[in-house]
Structure 1
């Protein structure tokens, strides 16, 4: 049963939440803290999208994220949503989320850690924690075991899993709506020789995040920032939303106190000053409320996959055109394409 939101009129057609729907902090435009005008803008945006033929992802929480990302300008929010849906279709994202198998992940972790290093069970505000070690980037070595296309696919799938089932499970456990994650980017080892590749990566990361996953960043810590990084960051800030910039904290080597103020020591890897030491390594750990039966529930994309399964056991062969007796059963094949990095997850 959906948790009732005291300030937002939930739409019975689209809003089928089984987790809290009120944001923990009183911020304008956030669930539970909207004005009548903002509620009307949600209705306007949904109506426009329905008229354009869209039927998925029209729930109130999703539309509010797109509206906040565009300062509640309905026309701009509509364009952002439509562009996102076009990208999802071109990227074949729904199918990827259900079927993608990133077999090379265990090898890549020693070179690049774009996936969750420690999806924290219980940060002090309840959000998942996502960690990247940018100093480990070695593009030449990385391309020996994977392709940029598969990296992008993996990153998009991780975003989808953040949205569902990870954040809903965290919301159930904390008793309040959680829509964002805490990101830690470790810049240790980012020397002059790596500046260009890291700069390119961060810029591409922001593109995917800001364009297609708005309002998913809660806090971003840039730790072990090298001398002169503030100059580079001043350029980075130029293509980030001012609201996003306010969430970013640039720290040098003395970052432990601030990080431990956000993440409990038992959930922060030892290499960052915590006490977490996952079996097999934190880089491959997926511990969190989303793996705890008390809080975890199947993601909507998992349920959708079950609903579309077709049982052909009793199909009359005569009703299948051109299905010769010797035609072998075909299995879907994953296709790998592309050689250039165009985007990655992270900053918004």
Structure 2
């Protein structure tokens, strides 16, 4: 059987990794309809006419279109809002120059890290919320630097992490497998970090769409499943299928997705990286066989319009705000 291929544009598409999604899903690379291909062309053309020159590759266009159910107008507005934010936040300079030197101290109170891959080849992202203490953290760092770190890690997820994982697996990988450990989390801790999580959620939802792969909430406290059962009614069904709420007996379910040797010992795996898994950043993106220099290390062209445009309208929401919080919380401050 002929392997499906991504319909590319030579002007923007320069990939050095596989570009066909492993599963046949409508609107995903290699599995698009002629109508969807036309919508990619339409979106890119409209953005070019507005003066944009960067991030117009086909994979990016498809992610924004999927996030807006292939409504070209909404996807265009989402992209414009994203580019405006990138310029205001200074994303391109941040990813090249940011030094999160206080990270080991911050991790004492809020542990978040990428660590190896799941059985599908995706990067595994882990968060431990039990020790979270913003008051203590803000003696070490600032909320602004935490958000800057969030953005830098999202950029590194897009390149070099996901491309390296795609090379190793032999198929396109665009999402993460997230493990969020709720052990020790009480309602008082949740409320104290709500402001930060809300900001992180907005960044996740609005500017890094379609990065949620599988999401495991482990050590969920009593009653959490009931609450989540209500929340599911507000979420996109596609998102709901990716979320697994597990109590303390999570091991069997987690082992189905993450190899024991890739899972830190604290979660029942066998991995014990030198210096600790949380600070190792182990994965294909560190392996000389699969890693390549990220494209953001290269000089960038301006991605802002060359002509004066009207201020973008507020972004149209694709899902309920609760989804944004869940997606943001699962990736804040690094991603998946």
Tell me, yes or no, if the aligned pair for 1:80 and 1:211 is still in contact at 8 Å. Answer: yes
Is 2:115 aligned against 1:119?
yes
Partner of 2:179: 184
- The within-5 A match list for 1:45-194 is 45-114=43-112, 116=113, 118-120=114-116, 122-194=117-189
Higher RCO structure, 1 or 2 (CA under 8 Å, sep 6+)? 2
Once the two structures are superposed, the pairs formed by residues 239-250 of structure 1 within 5 Å of their partners are 240-250=235-245
Corresponding position of 1:17 = 15
Cα distance in 1 for residues equivalent to 2:57 and 2:128: 35
Cα distance change on mapping 1:154 and 1:240 into 2, 3 Å: farther
**Post-superposition shift, 1:195?**
2.8
Scaled by the length of structure 1, what TM-score is found?
Answer: 0.83
The 4+ residue runs of structure 1 with deviation greater than 6 A are: none
Shift of 1:277: 0.6
Output the TM-score relative to the length of structure 2: 0.86
Indicate the RMSD between aligned Cα atoms, in angstroms: 2.2
User: For residues 87 and 257 of structure 1, what CA distance do their matches in structure 2 show?
Assistant: 41
1:140 alignment partner, SS class: helix
Name structure 2 gaps, 5 residues minimum.
Answer: 303-327
**Secondary structure of the equivalent of 1:159?**
helix
Displacement, 1:235? 6.5
Task: Count residues in correspondence.
Answer: 308
Give the structure 1 partner of residue 309 of structure 2.
none
Bigger Cα displacement from structure 2, 6-15 vs 142-151: 6-15
Contact 1:205–1:347 under 8 Å retained in 2:
no
Could you tell me whether the CA contact under 8 Å between 1:183 and 1:346 is conserved in 2? no
The structural deviation recorded for 1:9 is: 2.0
Aligned to 1:278: 273
Aligned partners of 2:98, 2:299: CA distance in 1, in Å?
16
Is the 8 Å Cα contact of residues 153 and 334 (structure 2) preserved in structure 1?
A: no
CA separation of 1:143 and 1:239: change in aligned 2, threshold 3 A:
farther
**Which has the larger Rg?**
1
